[in-house]
Amino acid sequence: MSFIEIDNVWQEYGAHVVLERLDLVVDEGEFCTLVGASGCGKSTFLRLLLGQEAPSRGTIRMEGKALVAEPDPDRGVVFQRYSVFPHLNVRDNVVLGLELPQSRFWGRLFGRKKRAARQEATALLEKVGLSQALGKYPYQLSGGMQQRLAIAQAFIMKPRVLLLDEPFGALDPGVRKDMHALILELWRETGLTVFMVTHDLAEGFNLGTRLLVFDRTRQDPQAPEAYGARVTYDIPLNADRHASRKHLAALSSRILGRTSPTFPEGANA
């Protein structure tokens, strides 16, 4: 059985059809990059996967079960902006992800548990290169550092699926390159499934194991909103990377067990 199955999904807002007849099957561990013209429904598709919206027609299943129609910890997300909480410092932004699921009433941990959560968060922040900024507030960080923080925040939850909505769109080219390396490294280590919307075709080709192109197949010049977009090209990419990741994931599952899908340090494909 496939990990995610999208079966004849439509998304309509009144008479405005954004997506139509969307059929897609995605395996676990794939890195799908979503490209297409502005307003062709990439972000809408991402919101459907996130559970922020429910499709007008059709079903999305994850491991055979219909997707929950509201965001949950199984699906992490990084937006282009507003991904981190302005009122929490860097460390607390990440600690929050450990506190909320454990403390259903206070949303807060105390004592030993709190210290443990802080340690875990600090370790992850070190990995994304924010160990020098633990006590800073988001407004004191550069755009790139804010996105590193958002990524760390998403990864602390160990989600099954990571949704990235143009996460590097507002960054400088140099910073963007560093971020590509970071996200690939984390992807390899954790084996999660990534969907990433991007405007940058090169980025899409470069990062993904699968490139999905969204476009309208039917056009009505009189009513441009009458028809929605579909996936017009579905291109497998970087097969070697995908294969090696799969291979190593299998190895790790044999040796380490599925519970800690971490990747040995330095085992880059």
Contact residues toward another protein (CB under 8 A) are 50, 52, 70-73, 75-77, 79, 81-89, 96-97, 99-101, 103-108, 137-140, 153-154, 157, 159
The SS3 assignment for 233 reads: strand
Q: Which CB, 60 or 237, lies closer to another protein?
A: 60
- β pairing state of 65-66 and 16-26: unpaired
Least Å from the CB of residue 127 to another protein: 18
Least Å from the CB of residue 87 to another protein: 5
Least Å from the CB of residue 77 to another protein: 5
Q: Which CB, 8 or 140, lies closer to another protein?
A: 140
Least Å from the CB of residue 45 to another protein: 15
Question: Which H helix or E strand runs over 195?
Answer: strand 193-197
Q: Which CB, 20 or 138, lies closer to another protein?
A: 138
Q: Which CB, 90 or 184, lies closer to another protein?
A: 90
Would you say 84 and 149 are in contact if contact means Cβ atoms under 8 Å apart?
A: yes
Q: Which CB, 76 or 208, lies closer to another protein?
A: 76
Torsion angles phi and psi, residue 42, rounded to 5: -65, -50
Rounded Cα distance, 264 and 177, in Å? 23
Which residue do the tokens 């890195």 mark? 31
- β pairing state of 161-165 and 229-236: unpaired
Least Å from the CB of residue 150 to another protein: 8
The SS3 assignment for 171 reads: coil
